[in-house]
Chains A and B, each alone.
Chain A
Amino acid sequence: MKFHWFNLMPWPYLPDDFTEKHRSVWVDVDSRLFDPVKANRVYNDYLDLLEFAADLGYDGVGINEHHQNAYGLMPSPQLMASTLARRTRDASILLLGQSLALYDPPTRVAEEMAMIDCISGGRLISGFPVGSSMDDNYACGVNPATLREKYMEAHDLIRRAWSDPDVFAWNGKHYKLRYVNLWPRPIQNPPPIWIPGGGSVETWDFCAQHNYNYSYLSFSGYIRGAQLMEGFWRRLEELGAEFNPYQAAFAQQICVAETDAEAQRLYEKHARYFFSRCLHVHPGFADAPGYRTEATIRAGLQSQMAGQSSALNQAASLSWQEMIDKGFIIAGSPDSVAEQMERVARTLKVGHVVCLLHFGDMPNEVCRYSTEMFAQRVIPRIRPIWGEYEDHWSPKPMPQADRAVPRDCPGTADPSAAARPTLARVV
């Protein structure tokens, strides 16, 4: 199994009465609750955590894209990916956004991902999400009736821009470019492509058709996720695809401590902050008309937030033990967590776990404790699961010895650095 350390980067200073005084954490969230001076520490703490996780040997470090959102402070995940490309050595850069239809021209996505892949020596995983209705339709103004058309066209354009060595003209319905000629180009061509989805049936077919990884990014945990993942695997089988657990990723809240009791003492309040304040979304922003396709509506599947918000409102009112029993959160001693993680692997049949080890207003040092416990006392025990399958959805970086070494990169002592001329010597 592979484990990616992922952080939504929530704003940790939402007031206690947030849900009573404000209607939504997203789209029209009160900007007066944001403090740029405090954000200096918040961003740097979160980036420290990502680098810390990479040093501990997590397979990947993950970031994603949200707009006008107090639980996701990354309107531009590519900015985060670029600094991680410099400040980490071996971890995959799991860039689970950019939402393709938000970029005009979408070749911008192809360019930026190529830059990150070059800087990181081929460690990029490129996520191609449609994006949530809150982000795409309400915060960024993309028309829900044409969002999916635009997304598909942007996808085709990016794939062609990465692969076609010649200049070409793109005369699409939504994008017209007379001269497409990508500079730079990615080392991996293409980088592994992961499709973050909520449960739209078309997404499954799309993943099957292109052999992409399907990443189910739910916040409602593995027990609720089981039914949906079962649908994904069944659909793949119907379409004649060979089963490989690495074709799927699942996001799960996880926290580890010495004992079950310590886990509750350390983490419960931060889980409650996440489920009550961070997921407090105005239903009017959950699902713009046209965001869901007719097939998805008819399948009775709920959109990302519409479906989850009912489940998650429930999570906020559960006891700690119920949160664990219902799978919203995996928590406890290393033994308890390893046992629950094994259940995740077996019931969802996923090879990649997007580990949400930071949630809500969890402070840096608390998160480091949990992150380290998981890396050292849980991962080694569950790592061998799915060992018989080959992972075709992770990056294939340049050989370590051939890669450039950034100066002052954490976790490296570059012997050649001392020999390099400093500016003072050159001048």
Chain B
Amino acid sequence: MELKTIRVGHEGRTVHYYRAGQGKPLLYLHHLLGIRGFEPALAQLAAHYDLIAPFAPGWGPAKDDLPDIDPGALDLTLHYCDLLDALGVTQADVVGISIGAWMAAELAAISPQRVAQLVLVNPLGLWLDDVGGEDAFAQHPGFPSRVLFSDRSMREKLFIAGRDKMEAHVEELLNLRAGAKFLWPIPDTGVKRRLPRIKARTLIATSERDTIVPAAYGPAWQAAIPGAQLTTLPDAGHIAELEQPDAFSALVRGFLN
């Protein structure tokens, strides 16, 4: 699948994205490690929806856009509104995972008319002192994303394998840099105060073996979003989309009308 580009907003920022499949538009907002390629979960979703999967500003081919995006919610949300405008999509279902789930929640809270249904998997952005969570940004610099997976060997298998090792490692560090810009030093984005504004039909999912966003955050998200449902992904880690593409896409398809 070819990576497409489109220029969005009055500044003409270039967005790199995948778009495939037919049906209702489904916007996929990626996790801390970005998008590896047109990976299995995306292919499975594209079999049922008009899937739009953009790189967020700062990740992958958009790495150099990071300095121009404010760390708060507004710039990012306007960015996604601009993207939907440029693609001619008035309203979409949105699925986000990890930091992408935070971005999806902001979009749904700040611009409720654009989001019909919302799936938030392992969402970052809330902080509970008595739950905490592993620090995704205080890891060994030689293999900093191991902690994101339920099994340490999965970083190599699912993120590095099949690519130039050095390039993959640089991309890993730069993707984490982008995540740090929005979540440093504590992943408390202030989204909590905006969550009650969400009008979309919403599903929250946590992964059983996610140490970054422990499952105990699920009820807090559910309580803050009117009418939200809550479920869990057994055995998965924080990057459930790479670890368990079948279960991930089944979860999304099972919820969306």
A145 touches B173 (CB 8 A): no
B71 touches A143 (CB 8 A): yes
B140 touches A143 (CB 8 A): no
Closest residue on chain A to residue B184 by CB atoms: A143
A284 touches B140 (CB 8 A): yes
B67 touches A149 (CB 8 A): yes
Residues of A within 8 A of B135 (CB): 284
B137 touches A288 (CB 8 A): yes
**In the assembled complex, B1 has its CB within 8 A of some CB on chain A:** no
Q: A303–B142 Cα gap in the complex (Å)? A: 12
B139 touches A137 (CB 8 A): no
A143 touches B174 (CB 8 A): no
Closest residue on chain A to residue B64 by CB atoms: A294
**In the assembled complex, A10 has its CB within 8 A of some CB on chain B:** no
B141 touches A287 (CB 8 A): yes
Contact of A288 among B63, B138, B142 (CB under 8 A): B138
**In the assembled complex, A283 has its CB within 8 A of some CB on chain B:** yes
A145 touches B138 (CB 8 A): no
Q: A74–B155 Cα gap in the complex (Å)? A: 39
**In the assembled complex, B37 has its CB within 8 A of some CB on chain A:** no
Contact of A294 among B63, B144, B181, B185 (CB under 8 A): B63
**In the assembled complex, B176 has its CB within 8 A of some CB on chain A:** yes
Question: CB within 8 Å of B: which of A114-144?
Answer: 137-138, 141, 143-144
**In the assembled complex, A184 has its CB within 8 A of some CB on chain B:** no
Closest residue on chain A to residue B67 by CB atoms: A149
Question: CB within 8 Å of B: which of A37-87?
Answer: none
Q: What size tier do the contact residues of chain B reach?
A: 20 to 34
A303 touches B138 (CB 8 A): no
Closest residue on chain B to residue A289 by CB atoms: B176
Residues of A within 8 A of B58 (CB): 145
Q: A145–B177 Cα gap in the complex (Å)? A: 6
Contact of B170 among A137, A141, A288, A298 (CB under 8 A): A298
Residues of A within 8 A of B178 (CB): 145
Question: CB within 8 Å of B: which of A295-351?
Answer: 297-298, 303, 306
CB distance from A368 to the nearest CB of B (A): 40
Residues of B within 8 A of A209 (CB): none
A289 touches B185 (CB 8 A): no
- Asked if A289 meets B177 with Cβ closer than 8 Å, knowing A137-B184, A145-B184, A284-B140, the reply is yes
Residues of A within 8 A of B177 (CB): 144-145, 289-290
Q: A141–B138 Cα gap in the complex (Å)? A: 12
Q: A344–B68 Cα gap in the complex (Å)? A: 44
**In the assembled complex, A9 has its CB within 8 A of some CB on chain B:** no
**In the assembled complex, B66 has its CB within 8 A of some CB on chain A:** yes
**In the assembled complex, B218 has its CB within 8 A of some CB on chain A:** no
Residues of B within 8 A of A144 (CB): 137, 177, 180, 184
Residues of A within 8 A of B185 (CB): 137-138, 141, 143
Question: CB within 8 Å of A: which of B46-104?
Answer: 58, 63, 66-67, 71
A289 touches B66 (CB 8 A): no
Residues of B within 8 A of A285 (CB): 138
Question: CB within 8 Å of A: which of B173-218?
Answer: 173-174, 176-181, 184-185
Render B127-158 as a binary contact track against A, CB cut-off 8 A, 1 for contact: 00000000101111110100000000000000
Q: A166–B176 Cα gap in the complex (Å)? A: 43
Closest residue on chain B to residue A298 by CB atoms: B170
Q: Quick one: which of A137, A141, A143 has the most chain B CB within 10 A?
A: A143
**In the assembled complex, A286 has its CB within 8 A of some CB on chain B:** yes
CB distance from B207 to the nearest CB of A (A): 22
A138 touches B181 (CB 8 A): no
Q: A146–B185 Cα gap in the complex (Å)? A: 12
Residues of B within 8 A of A290 (CB): 176-177, 180-181
Closest residue on chain B to residue A294 by CB atoms: B174
Residues of B within 8 A of A298 (CB): 170
A289 touches B180 (CB 8 A): yes
A143 touches B141 (CB 8 A): no
Contact of A284 among B66, B139, B170, B179 (CB under 8 A): B139
Residues of B within 8 A of A138 (CB): 138, 185
Residues of B within 8 A of A306 (CB): 141
Q: A138–B185 Cα gap in the complex (Å)? A: 8
Contact of A289 among B63, B67, B142, B179 (CB under 8 A): B179
CB distance from A153 to the nearest CB of B (A): 12
Q: A297–B137 Cα gap in the complex (Å)? A: 17
Residues of B within 8 A of A143 (CB): 71, 180-181, 184-185
Contact of B173 among A149, A283, A286, A297 (CB under 8 A): A297
CB distance from A23 to the nearest CB of B (A): 11
Residues of B within 8 A of A284 (CB): 135, 138-140
CB distance from B173 to the nearest CB of A (A): 6
Q: A291–B169 Cα gap in the complex (Å)? A: 15
Q: A303–B173 Cα gap in the complex (Å)? A: 13
Residues of B within 8 A of A149 (CB): 67
Q: A297–B177 Cα gap in the complex (Å)? A: 12
Render A261-304 as a binary contact track against B, CB cut-off 8 A, 1 for contact: 00000000000000000000001111111101010011000010
A289 touches B140 (CB 8 A): no
Q: A146–B70 Cα gap in the complex (Å)? A: 10
B181 touches A303 (CB 8 A): no
- Known: A143-B181, A289-B144; 16 extra A-B contacts, CB below 8 A, are A138-B185, A141-B184, A144-B177, A145-B58, A145-B71, A145-B184, A149-B67, A283-B141, A284-B135, A284-B138, A284-B139, A284-B140, A288-B137, A292-B173, A297-B173, A303-B141
Please report B residues at the A interface, Cβ cutoff 8 Å: 58, 63, 66-67, 71, 135, 137-142, 144, 170, 173-174, 176-181, 184-185
Please report A residues at the B interface, Cβ cutoff 8 Å: 137-138, 141, 143-146, 149, 283-290, 292, 294, 297-298, 303, 306
Q: List 26 A-B contacts (CB under 8 A).
A: A143-B180, A143-B181, A143-B184, A143-B185, A144-B137, A144-B184, A145-B58, A145-B177, A145-B184, A146-B71, A146-B181, A284-B138, A284-B139, A286-B141, A288-B137, A289-B137, A289-B144, A289-B173, A289-B174, A289-B176, A289-B179, A290-B181, A294-B170, A294-B174, A297-B170, A306-B141
The 6 residue pairs across chains A and B that have the minimum distance between CB atoms: A290-B177, A289-B176, A145-B181, A287-B141, A143-B184, A284-B138
